[in-house]
Structure 1
Amino acid sequence: MSEQENEQEESVRFADLSLSQPVQDALVEIGYETPSPIQAQAIPVVLSGRDLIGQAQTGTGKTAAFALPLLSMLHPKDEGPKAIILAPTRELALQVSESISNYGRNQKRLEVTAIYGGTDFVRQFKALDRKPAIVVGTPGRIMDHIRRGSLDLSRISHVVLDEADEMLRMGFIEDVEWILEHTPAERQTALFSATMPPRIAAIAKKQLKDPVTVAIKASTATVSTVRQRFIKCNGMHHKLEVLANLLETEERDAAIIFTRTKSAASMVADELAVHGHSVEAIHGDISQGRREKSVALLKEGKIDILVATDVAARGLDVDRISHVFNFDIPDDAEPYIHRIGRAGRAGRSGEAILLLTRRDFRKLRDIEHTTRQQMQPMPPPSRALIAEIRQAKLEKKIAKIIEEGKINRERTAITEAVTNLETDAETLAAVLLKMLQTGKPLPSSSPSSDREPRREREPRESRGPRNDRDFDRDRAPRQDRFSDRDRRDRDFDSPRPRSERRDQESPPANADMDRYRVEVGHDHQVKPGNIVGAIANEAGLDAKYIGRIDIFDDHSIVDLPKGMPKEVLKQLKKAWVSGQQLQMTKVIEKKRKFFKK
């Protein structure tokens, strides 16, 4: 094996790399001009027909490194499939197929098909019947189709193994070797791997012919455009509080929050939703369709936050992500590197913030040693900063309403209230502001309020020999909360509140409330906290004014105060919860029955 040096002339552009004209046109349309180091070195190798071993961390542009030359070499008249790309997870397979389709946007009759588990075979049979030029898939489902005869690899001329070390870690490497045995001996093979464990090196030696190795040895193992910081936290309650404050104070676009376990991901997402954030959780217990919908919502800007486990986030590539929050520190450096690679894509700057408890510092030092990069400590957001930001947001909202005008009726009401209550406009405005706070009052900016919080006693699961069991069981997580909630809100945390067993058409419990139907229910894995958070965020309504919530299979019923403004209800119709639009409609009583209005 020969090895190219990790050097890239600054003058190299995509136009210099002998890519086909349709591919070059697509890159111009997308706005890409300068290749990354892995792209600049790998593309000429692949175009030359040589086998390739590419070593580079996530976020360095590996997909384009093999996709662009592959698209340049494929002939539209060739009967497919001509290329197969193996990926460790369905998320990565889907992401790679979408990227290839984007790069091949100007190539006529180009078909790219993603094949992965968790979806029905019928749709995949139809896609494969069209003989796509490129098939991207996970090893298990690719094997299934080969055995069923629905996927014929006899015409394959190009094979790509993406994130080979991850396929090894997940136990797929035998499947990969089995698939390779079903491809022609005369093929071009490209293997990409962040690391090169002995088993992967052995496969490369056996399956690749005189490969060229392109090893991108960056000065640090992490993405250079991502600033890395950590905050010391005192237990779970404090971590939740700090996370909520960071989401308010950090100037950001989209964010992804990583947890170690599935139950922790759900818990964090529920807490953030209750406090008005547009958030979804993705993990192993979430259906593939739901996961794809959540990622699409993030890309489209309909939600701003994803809470994810490491496996569920594999292959996630969303340009909007500016921040990565590590709610739980991973056990070693490799998943940490993958995590923060989600920010700082395509040369953009990004932020990675790690929330640490005292027992996490050994892992922090191990990660710093591996990445050869020291993380900088940062203080939790101060109450003064939070107050300043909330004040600025309030003033911006007020300025917008003033600019729009149409407040004559409100002016009259204020004038009458000042007279009737024998008060002044300033006092009345303060009262109205207090009434309208959505669970985020303006905090005192007094320095005394920024004292270090008292360290919480670690949960029993965190102490002694069982120090890593915080969220590892399927039971509900410990109910630490970062703000006080009344008994009604705490009851919302049970999977199926007792009130759900009553007749959904019964009248609201409070005569001052109206009933509304929303088109999201148990089928969509919604929880009351998700609904409360969406309504509080969209309607500017304090969570305590939201009444009983009854969740059914395909919809839910929620009690809201009488006289909700039409403009607010119109906005709530468009709100998204658990991948569904609420489509809120009022329920009216008629002969002791309730129907949608």
Structure 2
Amino acid sequence: MATARTESVSPALMGLNKQNGQLKGLTKAASAQPGATTQGKTSGALPLQKAGSAQEGGGGGIKFGDDWKKSLKLPPKDHRVRTSDVTATKGNEFEDYCLKRELLMGIFEMGWEKPSPIQEESIPIALSGRDILARAKNGTGKSGAYLIPMLERIDLKKDYIQAVVMVPTRELALQVSQIAIQISKHLGGVKVMATTGGTNLRDDIMRLDETVHVVIATPGRILDLIKKGVAKVDRVQIMVMDEADKLLSQDFVVLIEDIISFLAKNRQILLYSATFPISVQKFMAKHLQKPYEINLMEELTLKGISQFYAYVTERQKVHCLNTLFSRLQINQSIIFCNSTQRVELLAKKITQLGYSCFYIHAKMMQEYRNRVFHDFRNGLCRNLVCTGRFGHLGLAINLITSEDRFNLKAIEDQLVTDIKPIPGSIDKSLYVAEFHTADSEVDEKPGQLLDST
């Protein structure tokens, strides 16, 4: 699936500027991604968008007999090599599923040329109304697999909530809502709302007083709105659970069960999960009616992701990061820490080394987290230090102390993979697209640096 390219940001440091989680030098900002949009405000409230209401070239201007594809505003083609996770298809086309022309326009303008394997398997079954239990990896078109049939079935003549997408994190809610808004922008009236904890409840109540067709939410917030009588879900046709293994963990399962009790008995449930723990199997037996099972995963690790580890002491970690920055050709990197204190400290250290850096953690005000998250995604900074997970990654390097070796072994066993020691030099073809394509333009994958502490 095509993604817009982000230009490089110069790492030269001219001075420090700490503001709302953004530690960076006086660098030249990268241009925004072509075709990328930032939805909603950064004040904490999540967006309620009326798809197609303010878009140029909407579906209403296309007449019967017109060559509607000529009017599409397509993003630049993505020439990066794609793994078999998304290329091993049956050769189907999106037009094969008898989708509305206006929905097809949004799909193509997202840069999605042909359905990925998970989309080929999911879309026709979901359109038939049957429950689905799908095992699918992140980064293989999973969101489109359920959003496309869900949006196809929205009836604009009905002014109530018809579909609910449950996700475990705020960041995933924002990501999914942006995709839904983009691909439905030509449908002329589909209203998509994202709501999660950490935003103003009063704003959500006011928005639900108007027409909303699709709600994308975290469990706690939507349940709160349901119990207050604000979010009426008794006529919901489709409920999607993205990253169902997390949603059915001890942290969420009671909330999910409570939410389902408010839904109609004839609703359709679509589950997407990277793993099938016992909790998912129990839920399936209790709530799904003869679900269609999809399993496209041979292993848990993502194809195209190269993982290494390096044994270091605590005091060596910053020096190791500096060495990696100087030796790897990285467009953007994400560095994970396991505490908010370490996040801020490491971000400051990286800035002092001369690299632009943002940071984000749970103790920051939500409006600041939103701003940092969107700015980083739009390429305004090279490095992000955080306690969360973002984006599609190409190279993972784990910096671990001797005490972490048992955790590393447990991860290898669970993923059925072998994480090797970091070599003296890393083949750039593992993470830089220019070594895969004859195209003269360089298009790099972001790298990931994992700090186990």
Determine if the TM-score, normalized by the shorter chain, exceeds 0.5.
Answer: yes
Partner Cα separation in structure 1 for residue 121 and residue 171 of structure 2: 26
Deviation of 1:10 after TM superposition, in Å, equals: 4.1
Partner Cα separation in structure 1 for residue 423 and residue 364 of structure 2: 34
The reply to whether residue 42 of structure 1 matches residue 122 of structure 2 is yes
The reply to whether residue 364 of structure 1 matches residue 395 of structure 2 is no
Q: Which amino acid aligns with 1:284?
A: A
Q: Please give the per-residue CA displacement for 1:485-520, whole angstroms capped at 9, x wherever unaligned.
A: xxxxxxxxxxxxxxxxxxxxxxxxxxxxxxxxxxxx
Determine the structure 1 residue equivalent to 2:245: 165
Partner Cα separation in structure 2 for residue 88 and residue 253 of structure 1: 28
**Contact 2:89-2:117 at 8 Å conserved across structures:** no
Determine the structure 1 residue equivalent to 2:307: 228
Q: Which amino acid aligns with 2:277?
A: P
**Contact 1:114-1:137 at 8 Å conserved across structures:** yes
Partner Cα separation in structure 1 for residue 87 and residue 282 of structure 2: 27
Partner Cα separation in structure 1 for residue 234 and residue 413 of structure 2: 46
Of 155, 162, 165 in structure 2, the residue corresponding to residue 75 of structure 1 is 155
Deviation of 1:65 after TM superposition, in Å, equals: 0.9
**Contact 1:231-1:379 at 8 Å conserved across structures:** no
Determine the structure 2 residue equivalent to 1:179: 259
Q: Which has the higher helix share?
A: 1
The one of the two structures with greater contact order (alpha-carbon pairs below 8 A, sep at least 6) is: 2
Of 288, 298, 306 in structure 1, the residue corresponding to residue 384 of structure 2 is 306
Of 178, 182, 187 in structure 2, the residue corresponding to residue 102 of structure 1 is 182
Determine the structure 1 residue equivalent to 2:70: none
Alignment of 1:403-482 (within 5 A): none
Scaled by the length of structure 1, the TM-score of the pair is: 0.55
Alignment: residue pair count: 343
Partner Cα separation in structure 1 for residue 403 and residue 198 of structure 2: 37
Q: Please give the per-residue CA displacement for 1:152-172, whole angstroms capped at 9, x wherever unaligned.
A: 112211111111211233511
Partner Cα separation in structure 2 for residue 18 and residue 238 of structure 1: 58
Q: Which amino acid aligns with 1:185?
A: K
Partner Cα separation in structure 2 for residue 7 and residue 302 of structure 1: 31
Alignment of 1:493-508 (within 5 A): none
Alignment of 1:262-411 (within 5 A): 262-309=340-387, 312-313=388-389, 316-317=390-391, 342-343=392-393, 350-379=394-423
Q: CA-atom RMSD, angstroms?
A: 2.2
Q: Please give the per-residue CA displacement for 1:387-444, whole angstroms capped at 9, x wherever unaligned.
A: xxxxxxxxxxxxxxxxxxxxxxxxxxxxxxxxxxxxxxxxxxxxxxxxxxxxxxxxxx
Partner Cα separation in structure 2 for residue 83 and residue 380 of structure 1: 51
**Contact 1:47-1:69 at 8 Å conserved across structures:** yes
The reply to whether residue 217 of structure 1 matches residue 261 of structure 2 is no
Q: Which amino acid aligns with 2:128?
A: S
Deviation of 1:41 after TM superposition, in Å, equals: 0.7
Partner Cα separation in structure 2 for residue 242 and residue 38 of structure 1: 39
**Contact 2:309-2:419 at 8 Å conserved across structures:** yes
SS in 1 for 2:197: coil
Q: Which amino acid aligns with 1:232?
A: Y
Deviation of 1:7 after TM superposition, in Å, equals: 11
Q: Larger Rg: 1 or 2? A: 1
**Contact 1:157-1:188 at 8 Å conserved across structures:** yes
Deviation of 1:62 after TM superposition, in Å, equals: 1.6
**Contact 2:309-2:422 at 8 Å conserved across structures:** yes
Deviation of 1:260 after TM superposition, in Å, equals: 2.0
Partner Cα separation in structure 1 for residue 410 and residue 143 of structure 2: 29
Of 332, 337, 343 in structure 2, the residue corresponding to residue 254 of structure 1 is 332
Of 145, 161, 173 in structure 2, the residue corresponding to residue 93 of structure 1 is 173
Q: Which amino acid aligns with 2:268?
A: Q
Partner Cα separation in structure 2 for residue 84 and residue 292 of structure 1: 22
SS in 2 for 1:295: helix
Deviation of 1:73 after TM superposition, in Å, equals: 1.4
SS in 2 for 1:169: coil
Scaled by the length of structure 2, the TM-score of the pair is: 0.71
Q: Please give the per-residue CA displacement for 1:345-384, whole angstroms capped at 9, x wherever unaligned.
A: xxxxx211122323333333332333233233324679xx
